[in-house]
A = this chain, B = another copy of it.
């Protein structure tokens, strides 16, 4: 199996960026297997992602970072260079709906998601059996409605001690406290069960049924302090009709949620999602 360095860059747009970066890579013998660029002409910003065969490069990721740093400074880049041999560490959070969790665990166990799943945190006990069968640690952290601060302090500590790169809210029906959102900005992924910005908040399928829409959807987004308003990574929909009850919408929605979250997480893990402001560039 081949390994890769992934270089992800965003910077003010100007002539010569690609030339400089690609010449740097070529100068080290780097074989680029996938290259994506985007110029946002409205805001004057440039985004790029290179996937480079690590065997083709004559140095370690660490050394490559050092060598690249001066170019990054010159072009005022926000950037990262990752090595696919370092698998991302992921913590999953879930309440009582199992479909997204079961789907992610299946994809992970069958090799479709390239990451470590360090732990599952839940405010309920329901998923313990499923999670432990996969050989993953299960933390039960009840979140009492009257005072959630102690619970979230525990959650925060568990995420820290797992050295998580990424937290996935796989239908975790609690609102994370601002401190946690901020600490892991751009690294907490949520699945919302509506086609945002429609039907933010609670019981979106019932809202959708009430309004009589002909399509329902799901939205995978980064969590920010503003509820259901963070940068959107992926969305998809399912057609419905007058025949369908709210229960049918919930059932169809489960499949859309699973698919949208799995795609969004995969892209995140592959460094395909670049955030700028409240929007994303997705090099899918």
Judge whether B110 and A106 touch: CB under 8 Å: no
Task: Please measure, in the bound complex, the distance between the C-alpha atom of A195 and the C-alpha atom of B196, giving whole angstroms.
Answer: 10
Judge whether B242 and A214 touch: CB under 8 Å: no
Contact-residue bracket for chain A: 35 or more
Interface status of A255 (Cβ within 8 A of chain B): yes
Interface status of A188 (Cβ within 8 A of chain B): no
Which residues of chain A from 61 to 115 have a CB within 8 Å of any chain B CB?
A: 98-99, 102-103, 106, 110, 112
Which residues of chain A from 29 to 47 have a CB within 8 Å of any chain B CB?
A: 29-42, 47
Interface status of A173 (Cβ within 8 A of chain B): no
Stretch of A141-149, A155-163, A179-187, A232-240 with 4 or more beta carbons under 8 angstroms from chain B: A232-240
Task: Please measure, in the bound complex, the distance between the C-alpha atom of A225 and the C-alpha atom of B177, giving whole angstroms.
Answer: 41
Residues of chain B lying within 8 A (CB to CB) of residue A31:
15
Q: Which residue of B lies closest to A99 (CB)?
A: B110
Task: Please measure, in the bound complex, the distance between the C-alpha atom of A15 and the C-alpha atom of B57, giving whole angstroms.
Answer: 11
Among the listed B35, B39, B197, which residue makes an inter-chain contact with A34, where contact means beta carbons less than 8 Å apart? B39
Judge whether A23 and B15 touch: CB under 8 Å: no
Interface status of A281 (Cβ within 8 A of chain B): yes
Interface status of A227 (Cβ within 8 A of chain B): no
Interface status of A203 (Cβ within 8 A of chain B): no
Judge whether A23 and B29 touch: CB under 8 Å: no
State how many copies of this chain the complex holds.
4
Residues of chain B lying within 8 A (CB to CB) of residue A280:
212, 242
Among the listed B32, B35, B110, B213, which residue makes an inter-chain contact with A232, where contact means beta carbons less than 8 Å apart? B213
Interface status of A7 (Cβ within 8 A of chain B): no
Q: Which residue of B lies closest to A25 (CB)?
A: B19
Judge whether B32 and A18 touch: CB under 8 Å: yes
Judge whether A242 and B37 touch: CB under 8 Å: no
Q: Which residue of B lies closest to A102 (CB)?
A: B106
Residues of chain B lying within 8 A (CB to CB) of residue A23:
19, 22-23
Q: Which residue of B lies closest to A208 (CB)?
A: B197
Judge whether B234 and A237 touch: CB under 8 Å: no
Interface status of A59 (Cβ within 8 A of chain B): no
Judge whether B278 and A212 touch: CB under 8 Å: yes
- Which A residues form the contact surface with B (CB < 8 A)? 15-16, 18-20, 22-23, 25-27, 29-42, 47, 56, 98-99, 102-103, 106, 110, 112, 133, 195-199, 211-215, 217, 231-237, 241-243, 245, 251, 255, 259, 278-282, 284
Would you list the 3 A-B pairs with minimal beta carbon distance, nearest first? A212-B279, A19-B26, A19-B22
* A-B CB contact pairs (8 Å), 7 listed: A22-B22, A32-B39, A33-B39, A99-B110, A103-B106, A214-B234, A241-B282
